[in-house]
Amino acid sequence: MKTFEEIGVSEPLRRAIEELGFESPMPVQERVIPRLLGDANDIVALAQTGTGKTAAFGLPLLQRVNPDEKRPQALVLAPTRELCLQIGSDLVDFSKYIPGVKVLPVYGGSSIESQIRSLKSGVQVIVATPGRLIDLIKRGVVKLDDVSTVVLDEADEMLNMGFLDSIEEILSHVPADHKTLLFSATMPDDILKIAKRYMRDYEEIVVGSRNEGAENVRHIYYMVNARDKYLALKRVVDNSPNIYGIVFCRTRRDTQEVADALIKDGYNAEALHGDLSQQQRDIVMKKFRDHVVTLLVATDVAARGLDVDSLTHVINFGLPEDTAVYTHRSGRTGRAGKSGVSIAIIHSRERGRLREIERIIGKKFERKDVPTPEHIIEKQLYNLADRLERVKVNEEEIARYIPGISRKLEWLSEDDLLKRVISLEFNRLLNYYKDAPRIDFIDAKPEKERKPRKRYENDGDKDRRVAEPGMERIYINVGKRDGFYAGNLIDMLNKLVQGKRVDVGRIDLMPGYSLFDVKKADARKVVGALTGAEFVGKRIHAEIADATRDYAKIADKKRK
């Protein structure tokens, strides 16, 4: 294993990172740093969040800067203000012993006047979100004529957030002979397009494998009935007494409902989604980083660019449609050599999506039974015993109170005292789990023994029109060809159906139409809410599915 000195890191930078606890280069650092310091080509680096990539680009970037020149020489673009601030903070720490180097984060949601004042005083390194940087360029405050190094961090996230045009505009202001480093956790086609268009003879460095999940993450799934997902979530959380994690939901409404329910049930939880103001978001994130809140319930959009260390769990309350999104979610735990757990709570109709994710990330999910009340209570009791063993006792301060407390409790035996201490902590848990049922989805037969589903003669899709027991099948005249997917359906139901949220069962997405299950009691309400609405300009027709109708032929006929 090489040292930082051997890969070319200068003494002032080594002194700073040693104080921060860096001992030897991580794989991404060992591969990227020498190339950025040398005359190598541009670089596309595929690496998960938490693999040490900030130091991989930050150390050589700072080493290439001339402190005597008070103008921007390096630019780092990040998708969100949180990541922008995190990178800026890290670069300031790295440059502690390099006098004269100034790093400035510029981002939306903060005073542009104060950022302008800082820029006018002279900075060498700008860390920016695309929108705010373009604003400053248009005002004539930022000139990138002397920038020799550009870093695009979390490039796939920037593309997901629609920053492609902004990135192109920014790069048009940078000299053609600059060195570019693009970091991405996954490699979608749009990343390749950027690399081919804006990078010169780039070298691709892969830490791990393309689009794979982080190595230190264990992937687990629990399968329950759709109605029991929240109960399963609580059991997973209760079974992990020291949990510090993010619960991902698919919609803003789900996010707020799950967070509200957790708070009501006594958990240290908060919601993070797009309906929050920037001030509310900052407050939530501070509480989470300070561990005042231990469960953050978030949408993928709100959590983009979130950089929090030491997460123990990522919980997928709803599986994403895009596998790259799952890779980003799971990559938030198991960072910097630590282990982590990525959990999916699914119902039976999500198995296919889970298998597709397994195939693409090259990892196998373990199916586990939802923790039983007995197991949860035992786990919590042992955790309490561990806390009692490790608690720090201030002998001097507490000594004056011991005689009085001893007299008060002298009638209790050691066994009685222990039971009371435990009951103080666990009465709520014991009462909640008293007579609690098992909630795992029980397969009628093991997969190998299942007979193939019966197909109707001369009618290949007729079985899709039959609902599960207790459910009603709904037909809707939009499908994959219209860009309509499960997430669109859930969003429409959340927006259009009044009252209590509708539980959706099996969903079958076809090219020209879709079929999905809801509870029989909700069927008429759902049909009424959807009929007459629009999806991307197409008027929607919904009806309770008729097993005798050939919806595929109807869709094809209307298309012609």
Reported as a single tens digit per residue, the pLDDT across 104-155 is: 999 887 788 889 998 999 999 999 999 899 999 999 999 999 998 999 988 8
Looking at 427, 450, 473, the residue that finishes a domain is: 450
Residue 403 shares a structural domain with residue 437:
yes
Report the pLDDT value the prediction gives residue 125, as an integer from 0 to 100.
Answer: 95
Domain-embedded: residue 41: yes
What is the total count of domains within the chain?
3
Looking at 206, 229, 250, the residue that finishes a domain is: 206
Domain-embedded: residue 459: yes
Domain-embedded: residue 229: yes
CA atoms within 13 A on the CB side of 150: 27
CA–CA dist 208, 228 (Å, integer): 36
Reported as a single tens digit per residue, the pLDDT across 14-26 is: 999 988 888 888 8
Q: List the one residue out of 89, 86, 70, 82 whose CA is nearest residue 110.
A: 82
CA–CA dist 42, 179 (Å, integer): 6
The answer, yes or no, to whether residue 221 has pLDDT greater than 70, is yes
Reported as a single tens digit per residue, the pLDDT across 387-417 is: 777 788 888 888 889 899 888 988 888 888 8
Q: Which residues pair with 149 in a beta bridge?
A: 74, 179
Residue 337 shares a structural domain with residue 411:
yes
Token pair of 208 as six digits:
């791990």
Give the residue ranges of DSSP H helices in 162-251. 164-171, 189-198, 229-238
Domain-embedded: residue 6: no
Residue 493 shares a structural domain with residue 355:
no
Report the pLDDT value the prediction gives residue 50, as an integer from 0 to 100.
Answer: 60
- Among 91-100, 163-172, 376-385, 473-482, name the one with the lowest average pLDDT: 376-385
Q: Do 380 and 423 contact (CB within 8 A), yes or no?
A: no
Residue 420 shares a structural domain with residue 488:
no
CA–CA dist 166, 477 (Å, integer): 37
Residue 197 shares a structural domain with residue 292:
no
Residue 194 shares a structural domain with residue 223:
no
Residue 523 shares a structural domain with residue 461:
yes
Reported as a single tens digit per residue, the pLDDT across 335-376 is: 655 668 899 999 888 888 888 888 877 788 888 889 888 888
Domain-embedded: residue 82: yes
Task: Note down the domain range covering 305.
Answer: 212-450
Domain-embedded: residue 3: no
Reported as a single tens digit per residue, the pLDDT across 488-528 is: 788 788 888 888 778 888 888 888 899 999 888 899 999 99
Q: List the one residue out of 336, 286, 284, 289 whose CA is nearest residue 308.
A: 289
CA–CA distance from 191 to each of 44, 157, 196, 199, 252 (Å)? Answer: 9, 10, 9, 11, 28
Residue 57 shares a structural domain with residue 198:
yes
Reported as a single tens digit per residue, the pLDDT across 442-466 is: 654 444 444 444 433 334 455 567 7
Report the pLDDT value the prediction gives residue 36, as an integer from 0 to 100.
Answer: 85
CATH number of the domain to which 543 belongs: 3.30.70.330
Residue 192 shares a structural domain with residue 221:
no
CATH number of the domain to which 372 belongs: 3.40.50.300
Residue 433 shares a structural domain with residue 528:
no
Q: Mean pLDDT, to the nearest integer, of 216-222?
A: 85
Calculate what percentage of the chain has a pLDDT beyond 90.
25
Residue 221 shares a structural domain with residue 201:
no
Q: List the one residue out of 22, 7, 350, 28 whose CA is nearest residue 214.
A: 28
Report the pLDDT value the prediction gives residue 294, as an integer from 0 to 100.
Answer: 92
- Among 283-292, 430-439, 517-526, name the one with the lowest average pLDDT: 430-439
Does residue 204 sit in helix, strand or coil? strand
Average pLDDT, the chain: 83
Q: Do 352 and 214 contact (CB within 8 A), yes or no?
A: no
Looking at 450, 471, 494, the residue that finishes a domain is: 450
Q: How far is CA 172 from the centre of its chain?
A: 31
* Predicted structure pTM score: 0.54
Sheet holding 471-476, edge to edge: 504-509, 514-519, 471-476, 542-544
Token pair of 151 as six digits:
């870093």
Q: List the one residue out of 396, 230, 250, 385 whose CA is nearest residue 322.
A: 250
The residue that leads in pLDDT, 202 or 130, is 130
Domain-embedded: residue 50: yes
Residue 419 shares a structural domain with residue 471:
no
The enclosing H or E element of 61 equals helix 53-64
Q: Do 44 and 199 contact (CB within 8 A), yes or no?
A: yes
Domain-embedded: residue 1: no
Token pair of 162 as six digits:
């629609």
- Residue labelled with tokens 């264990």: 218
CA–CA dist 21, 450 (Å, integer): 55
